[in-house]
Amino acid sequence: MSQAFALIDKLAAEADLSRAELRLLLGARDESSADRLFEKARQARHAVYGRDVFIRGLIELTSYCRNDCLYCGIRKSNLKAERYRLTKEQILDCCAQGHELGFRTFVLQGGEDPHFTDDVVADLVSAVKAAHPDCAITLSLGERGRDSYRRWFEAGAERYLLRHETRNEAHYASLHPAAMSLRDRLECLEVLRDVGYQVGCGFMVGSPGQTLDHLVDDLRFVKEFEPHMVGIGPFIPHQDTPFAGEPAGTLELTLFLLGVIRLLLPQVLLPATTALGTISPTGREMGVLAGANVVMPNLSPVAVRKKYLLYDNKICTGDEAAECRFCLQRRIGGIGYDVAVTRGDHAGFSCQQAIASA
C-alpha cells in the first residue's frame, strides 16, 4: 500500500495525524489517494449528517470596509470598488424571501463598516430573530471587541464566522497591512467561543506565498481549536488589488483539504464555497463529494451583488435568490444528496445546549 493510502487510513481511523504525517500526506497526494480520501471523508460525513446538505442564506450587508487586506476586492484602498449598505428593510425583505425558499439560517456578512455599530447590529439581529424565531443567525462582520460580540449574542446571534486566513505569523503579515495581526484574529476567535457562539474559522487555499508547511499549520490549528465550522476556498485574484497578477488556488488542492478536514473533525460544518464554484463550474458539487456538507447561496438583492466582489468572476451575481435556490437543489440532487430545510446545527450543538441549560 502506498504511503499516502496508509496515512489516509490512519487519519480515518484516528481522526488525527501529526504535523509530520500531514506534511507527508499533502506532499504525496495524487489522483488515486484523493479518491480514497474522498471515499473515507464521505463515509465520515454520512455517519454524522447522512446525505443532508445544509443551506445558509448569505446576505452581504455592506461593501464598505475599513481594512485593507491585500487579497480582497473591497479593501479600502480599492477606490474603484462600488460601495453600498443595505437598509434594515432591505435585509428583512431578503430574510422573508429566504424563509419562503426554505432557508433556516441567515448569514449576515459584511466588510468592517463603522456604520454597523453595536446598536445597529443588535437591533438588526433582534428584528431578524423576531421575524423568524425558527432560524439561526450567523454573523460575519470581522474583528470586534468582547462587548460587541456579547451584545449581538444576547440579541440572538448564535454563530460567528471569522476566518483566520493563515495560521502562520509571517504569512499572515504578508497578506495584511501592518495594522492587522494574527494575534488579534486568534484572540477574537477565542473570545467568540467564550461568549458562547458556534464559531467558524478558515483559510484561503493557494494565497500568495502559501506553502504546504503553512497548510499543515492551518490543519493542526483547525484540529486543536475544534471550531464548529471551517470555511475554506481557493484564493482568486481580484484585478484591483496588489495580488492582481497572482495565480489562483487550485481545485485539486482545495478538494483534498476539504477531505482532510472532514476526517480531522468528522462533525464539522464544512461549506463548499462560492469561490470553489467560481474556479470550476461543478466545484461545489465536487466539494460535497469530497466531504463538505454546507452550501451558502446568495440572498443579497440582485442590484448590489456585483458590488460585493471579493475576487474576480464571482458566480451567481446576476441571479435572483430563487434561481440560485432551485439551481442548487438540482445540483445537490444530481449528485445524490438532499437539501435540508432545517437550521443545520453542528451535531454536537443540541447536546451542548442541553448540558448548559441543565
| Rounded Cα distance, 278 and 254, in Å | 13
Give the one entry of ligand FES, ligand 5AD, none that residue 236 binds, where binding means its C-beta sits below a cut-off of 5 to 8 angstroms depending on kind: ligand 5AD
Considering only residues 100 to 129 of the shown chain, the ones binding ligand 5AD according to CB under 6 A are: none
Q: Which is nearer to ligand 5AD, 38 or 308 (CB)?
A: 308
- Residue 161's nearest CA partner among 182, 185, 183, 184 is 185
| Cβ neighbours of 323 (radius 10 Å) | 13
Considering only residues 292 to 311 of the shown chain, the ones binding ligand FES according to CB under 6 A are: 297
Q: Which of 13, 170, 244, 327 binds ligand FES (CB under 6 A)?
A: 327
Which residues, listed in sequence order, are joined to residue 165 by a DSSP beta bridge? 203
Give the one entry of ligand 5AD, ligand FES, none that residue 324 binds, where binding means its C-beta sits below a cut-off of 5 to 8 angstroms depending on kind: ligand FES
Q: Which of 323, 334, 338, 353 binds ligand FES (CB under 6 A)?
A: 323
Helix (H) or strand (E) holding 160, with range, is: strand 159-161
Give the one entry of ligand 5AD, ligand FES, none that residue 165 binds, where binding means its C-beta sits below a cut-off of 5 to 8 angstroms depending on kind: ligand 5AD
The window from 70-78, 112-120, 196-204, 323-331 that contacts ligand FES (CB under 6 A) reads: 323-331
Interaction of residue 275 with ligand 5AD, rule CB under 6 A: yes
Which residues, listed in sequence order, are joined to residue 58 by a DSSP beta bridge? 107, 298
| Rounded Cα distance, 43 and 291, in Å | 9
Interaction of residue 328 with ligand FES, rule CB under 6 A: yes
CB of 161 to ligand 5AD, least distance (A): 8
- Residue 11's nearest CA partner among 30, 33, 32 is 33
Interaction of residue 238 with ligand 5AD, rule CB under 6 A: yes
| Interface with ligand 5AD: number of residues (CB under 6 A) | 12
| C-beta of residue 163 within 8 angstroms of C-beta of residue 141 | no
- Residue 49's nearest CA partner among 356, 266, 315, 343 is 266
Q: Which amino acid is at 319?
A: D
- Residue 300's nearest CA partner among 56, 53, 54 is 56
Q: Which amino acid is at 79?
A: L
C-alpha grid cell, residue 60: 452581504
Q: Which is nearer to ligand 5AD, 124 or 204 (CB)?
A: 204
| Cβ neighbours of 333 (radius 10 Å) | 12
| C-beta of residue 47 within 8 angstroms of C-beta of residue 22 | no
CB of 139 to ligand 5AD, least distance (A): 12
Interaction of residue 72 with ligand 5AD, rule CB under 6 A: yes
- Residue 138's nearest CA partner among 202, 64, 197 is 197
Longest dimension (CA), the chain: 59
The window from 210-218, 231-239, 296-304, 331-339 that contacts ligand 5AD (CB under 6 A) reads: 231-239
Interaction of residue 75 with ligand 5AD, rule CB under 6 A: no
Q: Which of 52, 113, 158, 165 binds ligand 5AD (CB under 6 A)?
A: 165
Q: Which of 258, 272, 296, 324 binds ligand FES (CB under 6 A)?
A: 324
- Residue 316's nearest CA partner among 329, 299, 330 is 299
Q: Which is nearer to ligand 5AD, 53 or 310 (CB)?
A: 310
Q: Which is nearer to ligand FES, 297 or 301 (CB)?
A: 297
- Residue 307's nearest CA partner among 154, 139, 78, 116 is 78
Give the one entry of ligand 5AD, ligand FES, none that residue 327 binds, where binding means its C-beta sits below a cut-off of 5 to 8 angstroms depending on kind: ligand FES
Considering only residues 194 to 223 of the shown chain, the ones binding ligand 5AD according to CB under 6 A are: 204
Interaction of residue 271 with ligand 5AD, rule CB under 6 A: no
| C-beta of residue 312 within 8 angstroms of C-beta of residue 282 | no
Helix (H) or strand (E) holding 23, with range, is: helix 19-28
Q: Which is nearer to ligand FES, 46 or 330 (CB)?
A: 330
Contact residues: ligand FES, CB under 6 A: 297, 316, 319, 323-324, 327-328
Contact residues: ligand 5AD, CB under 6 A: 71-72, 163, 165, 204, 233, 235-236, 238, 275, 310-311
